[in-house]
Structure 1
Amino acid sequence: MATAATGAFFLLGDDDDPASPRALTSDEVNRLAVTRFLNYQAGGRAVTITVPNVAGGLVITGSIDYRTHTGYGVVRGTGRDASSDGLIRWTAGTVLVRPMAKPPAAAPAKPPASGWYTRPLRTSGMTLDSALAIALDLGSNRPDNSALLPQNGAAWVGRERVRGHRTDIMKGPRASATASAGPGTGTRTSQTVRYWIGSDGTMYRVEIGIASAPRPVVLDFDTRAYVPVQPLPGAAPTPQP
């Protein structure tokens, strides 16, 4: 996934010449402005989040409810990060993890009632938490201001098919690591964001450059059927040491 996403600089235009960045057309601006709103309108999206780091990396497969701004899924790691395997659930302020030696291929639709550990979502210095917060911020209850997007650095950078969908790749304003701040606002941000957007404004992929990560974080949407995020039953989770 990350390999495909990071090839934006070498994508081809319709004439098979290397694509050069250019200003967005009015249609492209409008699609970029509504893409987060469409996630909210859909209620939620299935997502795969690839989080690289120098110790290995993490892959989260699950769903995000954009009405409640809650994510839930399975997390798997490589290298030293394999110890992070299990279930994960997060909001704008809290991360809950349930360690599992052999996590399932998909998170159970009804979350387990016990075995959860909780900690605050860290505001800076942690790539995973930045990625989780930005993932929640990719849904909004209103379209973004289309007049401000070009002023804040939005541009067209190429085209690519994503799981059979023809998309335009747009360099967007900085992505906020705080939910509901909107693209281009907030204090904890990424300097490099690219959106893979379909002809109707649907978001299929987002690539985010985060200072603490050796490579961009990649979010791939609709990698499986969306499963609604259910409330967490049972007793209060144990604070994580």
Structure 2
Amino acid sequence: MVVVTAVVAAVAIGVAATLIANSPTTPRGPRPLTADEANRLAVTRFLNYQAGGRAVTITVPTTSGGLVITGSVDYRAHLGYGVVRGTGRDTSSDGLIQWNSTAVFVHPMTDFLAEPPVTPPGSGWHQRPLTTAGSSLDSALLITLGLGNDRPDNAELLPQNGATWVRDDQVRGRRVDVMAGPAARAKPDTAGNVRYWVDSDSTLHRVEADVASEPQPVVIDLNARPYVPVQPAPGVTP
């Protein structure tokens, strides 16, 4: 009788486990986007553009430690501005940074700043070209600028080009869906290289992007602080 009871119990546990594993409420991914998920992903960049800009915190991996940029991005002027700090390394990169799609402007500072000054300093800026390959910092800056667009993406093409639902998650207490983005144009092997944390209102809360120059991804957190409009530094063209 004991053996029979044990067998029955084992069968019951196995059946229960199967039902749980196949329950429609159990997250299973990655999988194709639903129509609702595709629509929400398609408008995230447009909502950033409509808002004018977003507060951002950009975590950039580097071979000598890492960089954290705290600031804002104007998605209509395509201009970013923030304070940059080194992590796990010396403070040689600490200071202010502004960037557009073609150039990076840096202003070294010895004093620690948690936030960039609203009005950028009137002098002391150094300019260099923004590179499109070989720099995790510049890749992160370009990706951050690209999170705003003056029109929604094509929701029908997103799944066709490899966009998928990965899992559900939470960001600062807000429930979100993590979705992997589509492949870049003419580069089918890049599907999933960028992941988006999107809530039920289509608001984008976080982006994680693989960069060729580093084994660790770039992480861009949005909406953690109020957006402060970006004022161009001297010589910076939006």
Q: Give unmatched runs, 5+ long, in structure 1.
A: 1-13, 175-183
Relative to its length, the structure with more helix (as a share) is 2
Q: CA deviation at 1:79?
A: 3.5
Compared with structure 1, are the counterparts of its residues 82 and 16 closer, same or farther at alpha carbon in structure 2 (3 Å cutoff)? farther
Match for residue 228 of structure 2? 227
Please point out which of 112, 117, 122 is paired with 1:113. 122
Please point out which of 168, 173, 180 is paired with 1:164. 173
Q: CA deviation at 1:214?
A: 2.2
Is 1:185 paired with 2:194? no
Amino acid at match of 2:116: A
Match for residue 35 of structure 2? 26
Q: CA deviation at 1:18?
A: 6.1
Partner secondary structure for residue 84 of structure 1: coil
CA distance in 2 between counterparts of 1:140 and 1:78 reads 31
Please point out which of 22, 30, 47 is paired with 2:56. 47
Please tell me whether the aligned partners of residues 37 and 139 of structure 1 are also in contact (alpha carbons under 8 angstroms).
yes
Query: TM-score, normalised on structure 1?
Result: 0.83
Amino acid at match of 2:68: V
Partner secondary structure for residue 145 of structure 1: coil
Amino acid at match of 2:178: I
Pick which of 144-153 and 88-97 moved more: 144-153
Partner secondary structure for residue 111 of structure 2: coil
Identity %: 62
Superposed, which structure 2 residues align to 1:84-123 within 5 Å?
A: 84-123=93-132
CA distance in 1 between counterparts of 2:90 and 2:177 reads 33
Please tell me whether the aligned partners of residues 190 and 210 of structure 1 are also in contact (alpha carbons under 8 angstroms).
no
Q: CA deviation at 1:190?
A: 5.9
Superposed, which structure 2 residues align to 1:59-74 within 5 Å?
A: 59-74=68-83
CA distance in 2 between counterparts of 1:217 and 1:30 reads 25
Query: TM-score, normalised on structure 2?
Result: 0.84
Q: CA deviation at 1:118?
A: 0.4
Please tell me whether the aligned partners of residues 190 and 209 of structure 1 are also in contact (alpha carbons under 8 angstroms).
no
CA distance in 1 between counterparts of 2:142 and 2:232 reads 19
Please tell me whether the aligned partners of residues 124 and 130 of structure 1 are also in contact (alpha carbons under 8 angstroms).
yes
Q: CA deviation at 1:224?
A: 1.0
CA distance in 1 between counterparts of 2:131 and 2:90 reads 18
Q: Give unmatched runs, 5+ long, in structure 2.
A: 1-22
Q: CA deviation at 1:21?
A: 1.1
Please tell me whether the aligned partners of residues 159 and 168 of structure 1 are also in contact (alpha carbons under 8 angstroms).
yes
CA distance in 1 between counterparts of 2:100 and 2:109 reads 21
Amino acid at match of 2:47: L
CA distance in 2 between counterparts of 1:121 and 1:185 reads 21
Partner secondary structure for residue 157 of structure 2: coil
Please tell me whether the aligned partners of residues 87 and 100 of structure 1 are also in contact (alpha carbons under 8 angstroms).
yes
Deviations 1:106-138 (A, max 9, x none): 000111101110001012111100110011011
CA distance in 1 between counterparts of 2:202 and 2:85 reads 30
Higher Cα radius of gyration: 2
Please tell me whether the aligned partners of residues 208 and 217 of structure 1 are also in contact (alpha carbons under 8 angstroms).
yes
* Alignment coverage as a number of residue pairs: 212
Partner secondary structure for residue 61 of structure 1: strand
Compared with structure 1, are the counterparts of its residues 210 and 21 closer, same or farther at alpha carbon in structure 2 (3 Å cutoff)? same
Compared with structure 1, are the counterparts of its residues 114 and 186 closer, same or farther at alpha carbon in structure 2 (3 Å cutoff)? farther
